[in-house]
Amino acid sequence: EIVLTQSPGTLSLSPGERATLSCRASQSINSIYLAWYQQKPGQAPRLLVYGASSRATGIPDRFSGSGSGTDFTLTISRLEPEDFAVYYCQQFGSSPYTFGQGTKLDIK
């Protein structure tokens, strides 16, 4: 089983700042199988990035994904108030299709 470890667990930043979220895999993953989601309370997860670096439809360009192998990053270039939420990574490369434990991005 591929374990995805997200860091940090909680990230406290202010609007306008840059956020860098990490997702580290216990084994190498083909980049096409790595996705990032945003989730707000009471809502279903929203796809942000798939294939490690492709933004989903309608996602602002302040969100970007990068990485390969075992290290992947989601960057939010300038935080907007609506970006404060929980973020998850998921891999579809090898069953079970595991999730990271999440990074909570909250307002400082």
Partner 1 sequence: EVQLVESGGGLVKPGGSLRLSCVASGFTFTNAWMNWVRQAPGKGLEWVGRIKSKTDGGTTDYAAPVKGRFTISRDDSKNTLYLQMNSLTTEDTAVYYCIRYKPLEGVYWGQGTLVTVSS
Note whether 35 binds partner 1 by CB under 8 A.
yes
The residue among 81, 85, 65, 80 whose CA lies nearest residue 10 is 85
**Per CB under 8 A, does 62 bind partner 1?**
no
| Size of site (CB under 8 A) for partner 1 | 24
DSSP state of 92: -
Distance CA 58, CA 22 (A): 23
Residue 33 in the binding site for partner 1 (CB under 8 A): yes
Nearest CB to partner 1, comparing residues 15 and 26: 26
Tell me the C-alpha distance between 37 and 67, whole Å: 16
Q: Which stretch in 11-19, 20-28, 34-42, 68-76 sits in contact with partner 1 by CB under 8 A?
A: 34-42
Residue type, 34: L
Among 82, 95, 107, 108, binds partner 1 (CB under 8 A): 95
**Is the separation of the CB atoms in 20 and 75 below 8 Å?**
yes
Residues that bind partner 1 (CB under 8 A): 32-33, 35, 37, 39, 44-45, 47, 50-51, 54, 56-57, 88, 90, 92, 95-102
